[in-house]
Amino acid sequence: MKTYSYPQHVKEDIKEYINDELDTGTFGLLVQGDEDTIEDIRDTLFNEDSVTGNMSGSYTMSTRKAEENLVGNWDLLEEAINEFDLHVNPIKKGAEWCDSLIRCYLLDWCFSEALKEITKQETKN
């Protein structure tokens, strides 16, 4: 079984969200590097189920799929728990919660990388 690449998938979900949900004006401000726009979108993405699953508590809406995503990614889960200074038992919280937590943990880095790729693409056009 191939290990699920959280960074790759979260970054692609962010790019898809930006492409599908942002109006032209907001997209323009984002590409121009407007700090308020960047912060607003980052905050929105943190609670966006199609990116992190944080709002509902599940990105996959499937315990089985979340479990599959976690295989080989226990180190990321541990990093996320430590980063957010959580004192929880991830086993009791469940696979969907763990999957969503990793996505939230990686959001800032993935957002920055997605923004770099989008900006680079826009400057080519």
Predicted structure pTM score: 0.95
- Asked if 56 contacts 49 with a C-beta cutoff of 8 angstroms, the reply is yes
**Which tens digits make up the pLDDT trace of 13-64?**
999 999 999 999 999 999 999 999 999 999 999 999 999 999 999 999 999 9
> Residue 123 — very low, low, confident or very high, per pLDDT cuts 50/70/90?
confident
C-alpha to C-alpha distance for 46 and 53, rounded to whole angstroms: 8
Q: What angle do CA 39, 40, 46 make, to 5 degrees?
A: 90
> Residue 124 — very low, low, confident or very high, per pLDDT cuts 50/70/90?
confident
C-alpha to C-alpha distance for 22 and 24, rounded to whole angstroms: 7
